[in-house]
Amino acid sequence: MPRAANGFAGFPVEAFRFYEQLGADNTKAFWTEHKPDYDAFVRAPFNSLAAVVLDEFGPLHIFRPNRDVRFSSDKTPYKNHCGAVTEGEGGEAYYLQISAAGLMVASGYYGFGADQLERYRTAVDSSAGAALEQLLDSYRRQRFEVGGSALKSAPRGYARDHPRVQLLRHKGVYVARSFADAKWVHSPKALDRIVSTWRAAAPLHEWLNRYVGPSTEAWRSARNSTTRILVSASVNAKISGRVTYAG
């Protein structure tokens, strides 16, 4: 891989090969044998990236590779991807993930607390909702995916034929871009793609921070929300199992 003056040279081909092999043999025996590959080709680049983005985006938390299988019927021990997240001053999250499918970069509020959800729905029901609708349409035109967990129908107290019922159903809002494996992913150019995608989410952050803001619930405020926001996106098969954009 090309060397980078800032220490981050992209994610090597071997990182994606590692997850391809893990997908075929997700066992402790495989992991033990190939742990040096994970450390050198996955963890080390993430550590380098964390150092580079620290000043602008804050400390990057890299998620552990082990799955929590206690309450899951799927007992495969290791995640099929590596993800990392950091949090902005307004509570917005910046997320990054690599897997055999490629690179995924996302940002926003993945999950609202009860107080946030109330403020969000109030805003969507007002003229501010029209602004959000236009903003998200503009992201789609730019080939972003608009995501966030959602109810199957209109929330209680809102009509099913509400003009913005699709937005009212959301329990979180984020934008994401997924990139197929390409030469630039393995080079210092990857940094530009990652941070430019995060920066592009600024208008969404502005809307969310203005009308929703951080949760004031004590239990949510007491713990680091970067381990909650967008975490579920990292295990969502729709995102982690499929690359939607080849930019």
Report domain 13-240's class.
alpha beta
The pLDDT tens digits of the residues spanning 211-239 come to 999 888 754 444 444 434 444 444 343 33
pLDDT tens for residues 75-88?
A: 999 999 999 999 98
| CA–CA gap between residue 138 and residue 123 (Å, rounded) | 19
Crossing angle of the two packed helices 202-211 and 127-141, in degrees rounded to 10: 160
Token pair 């220490």 is at which residue?
7
pLDDT at 91: 84
- Give the CA radius of gyration of the chain: 19
Name 179's Cβ contacts closer than 8 Å, sequence gap at least 6.
102, 103, 104, 105, 185, 193, 243, 245, 246, 247
Is the pLDDT higher at 103 or at 246? Answer: 103
Q: Above pLDDT 90, what percent of the chain?
A: 77
Cβ neighbors of 32 (< 8 A, separation 6 or more) are none
| Domain ranges (residues) in the chain | 13-240
pLDDT tens digits, one per residue of 15-25: 999 999 999 99
User: Would you say 18 and 38 are in contact if contact means Cβ atoms under 8 Å apart?
Assistant: yes
Evaluate if residue 47 carries a pLDDT over 60. Answer: yes
User: What integer best gives the mean pLDDT of the chain?
Assistant: 87
> pLDDT digits over 120-150, tens only?
999 999 999 999 999 999 999 999 999 998 9
- What are the residue ranges of helices labelled H in 86-126? 114-124
Give pLDDT, residue 2: 54
